[in-house]
């Protein structure tokens, strides 16, 4: 499947196929090398810690120079 990318004055909009729609108002955006990962924004600290625990060991640390 493909998603459509539309440029706007404020950035870009990605139009997902129906099978990939999110049922939330906000997403967390993660970037790993040339991949972009979208996840629903955690609703509480428990969800946030679960999100952090799922991060891969090779996820870049922004404190370390690339």
Task: Name residue 35's beta-bridge partners.
Answer: 32
The per-residue pLDDT for range 8-24, each reduced to its tens digit, is 999 999 999 999 998 88
Task: Name residue 37's beta-bridge partners.
Answer: 30
**What is the value of pTM for the model shown?**
0.55
pLDDT of residue 19: 93
* Domain boundary assignment for the chain: 4-53
Count CB neighbours of 56 within 10 A: 8
- Nearest one of 2, 31, 28, 23 to 14, comparing CA atoms: 2
Query: Count of alpha carbons within 13 Å of 27, Cβ hemisphere only?
Result: 11
The per-residue pLDDT for range 22-48, each reduced to its tens digit, is 888 999 888 888 999 898 887 777 776
């Amino acid at each position: 499947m493909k998603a459509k990318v539309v440029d706007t004055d404020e950035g870009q909009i990605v139009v997902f196929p129906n099978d990939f729609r999110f049922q939330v108002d906000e997403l967390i955006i993660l970037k790993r090398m040339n991949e972009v990962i979208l996840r629903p924004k955690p609703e509480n600290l428990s969800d946030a810690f679960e999100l952090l625990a799922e991060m891969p060991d090779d996820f870049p640390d922004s404190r370390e120079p690339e």
